[in-house]
């Protein structure tokens, strides 16, 4: 079991802890498939909603909050029945806009894993306005069920009435919808090819600033992020923050980064290069490779 889970395991009911420990191996990064969740519910005789709330300390153990020292865990349950954990991330000494909220981390985890719908969000503190707005960008966002400890489950519409979202700006394919954007680039570099794949899946309907980041560690592992825009603009999630959040979930230290690529559309109304460089230089002494590509 990974060291970061030792403290939280001690907080769990004994039957859950006993059945969970084998899953928390060195490869565990917050994902459980639907069968694993069902098996845990059966072994512990817990209703699934009760089980997911009980798992929140595990999600919170993924957090890196050097500024607030406030550990927040969240779990996104996908339409597939799989669950995706996320946690808050803060960059030490850097502006707070670089922070990733736990709900954003969990949702981006699901999106990067291929989910096309989120049915439930389980979180250990009431979602802030930023996160409510971010969730409202998703497919059927207002219907997502929010689960909080010792509170009745409510849809997002309860927490964000009179919402402003994609439909108000005539966007009919919200975040998590299947979509593919084509760009012209030929490369034999596997890392750039991977970045191009994520660029094509990024979500930027307001600025058309489609973008993706790939980070490579010294052992050759790669961690990716895609741009996820928001109708309210500020809750947009930058691809660098998404990639760093993925690294944190995988228990990798940012000092291991030895290469970083940002690829973005040449036709976007904005560029993410400045913000991306700021975040990268806050965590690693690596120069950013910046590639602009033309849409097809």
Residues making up the binding site = 88-90, 101, 128, 131
Q: Are 2 and 24 in contact (CB under 8 A)?
A: yes
State the helix-helix crossing angle for 102-112 and 129-136, rounded to 10 degrees. Answer: 20
Burial of 14 (0-12, 13-18, 19+ CB in 10 A): exposed
Q: Are 121 and 159 in contact (CB under 8 A)?
A: no
Question: First CA to last CA across the chain, in angstroms?
Answer: 47
* Dist. CA 264–CA 21, nearest whole Å: 41
At CA 27, angle to CA 120 and CA 178, rounded to 5? 40
103 is catalytic: yes
Identify the active-site residue in 14, 50, 103, 140: 103
Q: Given the DSSP bridges, would you call strands 73-78 and 83-87 parallel, antiparallel or unpaired?
A: antiparallel
Q: Are 45 and 101 in contact (CB under 8 A)?
A: no
Q: Annotated catalytic sites, by residue?
A: 103
């Amino acid at each position: 079991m990974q060291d970061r889970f030792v403290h939280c395991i001690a907080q769990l009911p004994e039957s859950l802890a006993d059945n969970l420990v084998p899953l928390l191996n060195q490869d565990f990064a917050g994902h459980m498939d639907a069968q694993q969740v069902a098996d845990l519910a059966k072994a512990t005789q817990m209703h699934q909603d009760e089980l997911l709330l009980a798992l929140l300390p595990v999600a919170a153990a993924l957090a890196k909050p050097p500024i607030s020292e406030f550990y927040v865990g969240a779990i996104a349950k996908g339409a597939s029945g799989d669950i995706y954990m996320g946690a808050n991330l803060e960059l030490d000494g850097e502006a707070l806009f670089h922070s990733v909220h736990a709900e954003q981390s969990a949702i981006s985890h699901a999106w990067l894993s291929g989910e096309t719908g989120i049915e439930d969000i389980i979180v250990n503190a009431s979602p802030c306005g930023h996160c409510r707005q971010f969730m409202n960008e998703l497919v059927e966002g207002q219907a997502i069920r929010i689960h909080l400890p010792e509170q009745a489950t409510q849809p997002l519409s309860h927490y964000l009435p009179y919402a402003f979202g994609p439909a108000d700006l005539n966007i009919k394919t919200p975040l998590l919808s299947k979509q593919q954007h084509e760009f012209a680039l030929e490369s034999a570099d596997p890392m750039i090819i991977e970045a191009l794949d994520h660029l094509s899946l990024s979500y930027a309907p307001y600025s058309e600033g489609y973008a993706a980041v790939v980070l490579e560690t010294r052992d050759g592992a790669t961690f990716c992020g895609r741009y996820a825009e928001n109708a309210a603009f500020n809750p947009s999630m930058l691809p660098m923050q998404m990639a760093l959040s993925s690294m944190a979930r995988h228990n990798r230290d940012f000092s291991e980064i030895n290469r970083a690529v940002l690829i973005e559309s040449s036709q976007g109304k904005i560029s993410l290069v400045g913000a991306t460089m700021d975040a990268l230089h806050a965590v690693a002494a690596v120069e950013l490779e910046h590639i602009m590509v033309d849409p097809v």
